[in-house]
């Protein structure tokens, strides 16, 4: 009954039922997603995906965001979804370490562009898609994640299917079947972190979820109980789960409101340590430093323990690189995770001074940092809530600046400002074409 109950909640939640503050946060999430997508649109991995799509002779239906190219519907959501995760600069639901916009927004943009749908329908589909994947993530976290699944894609495929199903106006039975087709395509292994395959995960989740809804719309069949069945998603993919969380407090609690935005271009578990190292850099020059001890949640060490990264993508999963570059350059934006920064001699040398210590008494968004100087002097500080967290959120101005910094070199500063205005006032425009036309 879990899948059925979820579908019933989805279908009876109209645009008017979604609180204004949730819609506003949804637009911020879309803006953040669009910025990181455009910023990474010329990454080599995106060139490869587009080259393959072109070699297959795909029809030109919808836009590759930030490029003049168009491709077919399924290839577009794959490419745009992948681009959004390349920089690891996208939004994060910290409770489940989930990046909700990546699998859902590409579907909303692609179907919205192809079908010319009203923006209010797109906002509803985006919110409900994100709400679905986050609630399913809540139900299976943490065991599902600990088993090695990349939860953004493994549950994101459900969000993509729901967003597509809402826009295609699937009925109750077809929406449940779309979840079934999506669920059997749930995938994503954490082993791939630090490679081009990690950002492929949300792109593939978007593609699989959209494909599921398109198939079901034409009569394709599937199980109606993918979430709760004995051999369904929760029982197969998670050793411990609580499926009541999928629909509890529906309409009163919105998981999307817990979505946060990153000031740094790497896994969010690194952000407190980056904040700390930037602050500590004010107290000493690099050559005065003996070591920097970073006491962190065990997840930080588990996810970011690459001591000797060789590529920028690997550097995003190295507390050693993140701490060193933050101290040396007082920032950790995309520029600090380029290949040349990861292999720079001064950075490699300073990485040896970063000493993480795992402590399960430390929260995921906290770090206790100790700067030890040559001669024995020390400076200790604690970061309880990193910049960008729910307790210390980005302002709209900072989010706008992030967007402009990411997009100006691709589409120009004027177009970047236009895109911000149109996304943040999306419901005042009839279609998503109003956004697409300024970023092409």
In this structure, the answer to whether residues 312 and 407 fall within a common structural domain is no
Task: Tell me how many domains the chain contains.
Answer: 2
In this structure, the answer to whether residues 215 and 158 fall within a common structural domain is yes
Total-model pTM: 0.93
In this structure, the answer to whether residues 88 and 51 fall within a common structural domain is yes
In this structure, the answer to whether residues 180 and 317 fall within a common structural domain is no
d(Cα 387, Cα 331) in Å, to the nearest integer? Answer: 12
In this structure, the answer to whether residues 298 and 244 fall within a common structural domain is no
For the stretch 240-289, pLDDT in tens is 999 999 999 999 999 999 999 999 999 889 999 999 999 999 999 999 99
Tell me, yes or no, whether 32 lies in a domain: yes
In this structure, the answer to whether residues 31 and 147 fall within a common structural domain is yes
For the stretch 95-125, pLDDT in tens is 999 999 999 999 999 999 999 999 999 999 9
Tell me, yes or no, whether 389 lies in a domain: no
pLDDT along the chain (440 residues), means of 10: 97 98 98 98 97 94 96 98 96 94 98 97 98 98 96 98 98 98 97 96 98 98 98 97 98 97 93 97 97 95 92 95 98 95 98 97 93 96 90 93 97 98 97 94
Distances (CA, A) of 79 to 20, 122, 178, 370, 423: 31, 20, 22, 42, 21
The kind and range of the H/E element at 71 are: strand 70-71
Domain that holds residue 233: 2-261+395-439
The kind and range of the H/E element at 420 are: helix 413-424
In this structure, the answer to whether residues 217 and 273 fall within a common structural domain is no
In this structure, the answer to whether residues 218 and 308 fall within a common structural domain is no
Pick the last residue of a domain from 339, 357, 383: 383
CATH number of the domain bearing residue 377: 3.30.1330.120
Please, what is the angle between helix 197-217 and helix 156-167, to 10°? 40
The kind and range of the H/E element at 292 are: strand 289-296
Residues 126 and 108: beta-carbon distance below 8 Å? yes
Tell me, yes or no, whether 45 lies in a domain: yes
∠ Cα 88 180 219 (to 5°): 120
Nearest to 161, CA basis, from 176, 174, 179: 179
In this structure, the answer to whether residues 256 and 275 fall within a common structural domain is no
d(Cα 338, Cα 329) in Å, to the nearest integer? Answer: 13
Bridge partner residues of 305 (DSSP): 318
Nearest to 33, CA basis, from 438, 419, 348: 419
Tell me, yes or no, whether 354 lies in a domain: yes
pLDDT at 58: 87
In this structure, the answer to whether residues 256 and 313 fall within a common structural domain is no
pLDDT at 307: 95
pLDDT at 440: 78
- Strand order across the 378-383 sheet: 354-358, 289-296, 367-373, 378-383
Virtual torsion, Cα 416, 115, 128, 141, nearest 10 deg = -80
Residues 191 and 148: beta-carbon distance below 8 Å? yes
In this structure, the answer to whether residues 233 and 212 fall within a common structural domain is yes
In this structure, the answer to whether residues 6 and 134 fall within a common structural domain is yes
């Amino acid at each position: 009954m879990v899948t059925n109950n979820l579908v019933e909640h989805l279908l009876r939640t109209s645009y008017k039922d979604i609180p204004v503050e949730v819609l506003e946060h949804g637009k911020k999430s879309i803006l953040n997603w669009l910025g990181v997508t455009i910023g990474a649109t010329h990454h080599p991995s995106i060139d490869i995906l587009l080259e393959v799509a072109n070699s297959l002779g795909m029809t030109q239906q919808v836009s590759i965001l930030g490029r003049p190219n168009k491709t077919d519907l399924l290839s577009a959501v794959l490419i745009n979804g992948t681009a959004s995760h390349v920089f690891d600069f996208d939004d994060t639901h910290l409770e489940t370490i989930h990046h909700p916009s990546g699998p859902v927004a590409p579907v909303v943009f692609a179907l919205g562009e192809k079908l010319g749908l009203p923006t209010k329908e797109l906002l509803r589909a985006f919110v409900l898609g994100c709400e679905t994947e986050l609630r399913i993530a809540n139900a299976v976290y943490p065991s599902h994640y600990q088993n090695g699944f990349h939860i953004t894609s493994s549950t994101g495929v459900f969000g993509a299917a729901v967003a597509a199903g809402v826009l295609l106006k699937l009925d109750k039975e077809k929406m449940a079947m779309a979840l079934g087709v999506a669920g059997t395509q749930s995938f994503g292994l954490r082993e791939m972190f630090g490679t081009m395959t990690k950002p492929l995960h949300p792109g593939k989740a978007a593609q699989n979820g959209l494909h599921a809804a398109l198939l079901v719309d034409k009569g394709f069949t599937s199980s109606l109980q993918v979430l709760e069945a004995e051999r369904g998603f929760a029982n197969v993919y998670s050793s411990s789960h609580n499926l009541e969380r999928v629909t509890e407090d529906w309409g009163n609690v919105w998981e999307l409101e817990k979505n946060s935005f990153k000031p740094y271009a790497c896994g969010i578990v690194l952000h407190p340590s980056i904040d700390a190292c930037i602050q500590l850099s004010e107290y000493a020059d690099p050559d005065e430093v003996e070591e920097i001890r970073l006491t962190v949640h065990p997840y930080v060490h588990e996810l970011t323990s690459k001591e000797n990264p060789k590529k920028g993508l690997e550097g995003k999963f190295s507390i050693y690189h993140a701490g060193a570059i933050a101290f040396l350059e007082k920032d950790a934006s995309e520029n600090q995770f380029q290949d040349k920064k990861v292999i720079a001699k001064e950075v490699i040398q300073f990485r040896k001074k970063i000493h993480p210590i795992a402590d399960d008494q430390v929260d995921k968004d906290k770090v206790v940092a100790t700067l030890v100087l040559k001669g024995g002097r020390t400076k200790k500080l604690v970061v309880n809530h990193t910049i960008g967290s729910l307790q210390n959120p980005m302002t709209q101005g900072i989010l706008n600046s992030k967007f402009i910094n990411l997009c100006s070199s691709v589409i120009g500063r004027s177009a970047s400002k236009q895109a911000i205005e149109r996304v943040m006032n999306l419901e005042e425009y009839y279609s998503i074409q109003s956004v697409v036309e300024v970023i092409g």
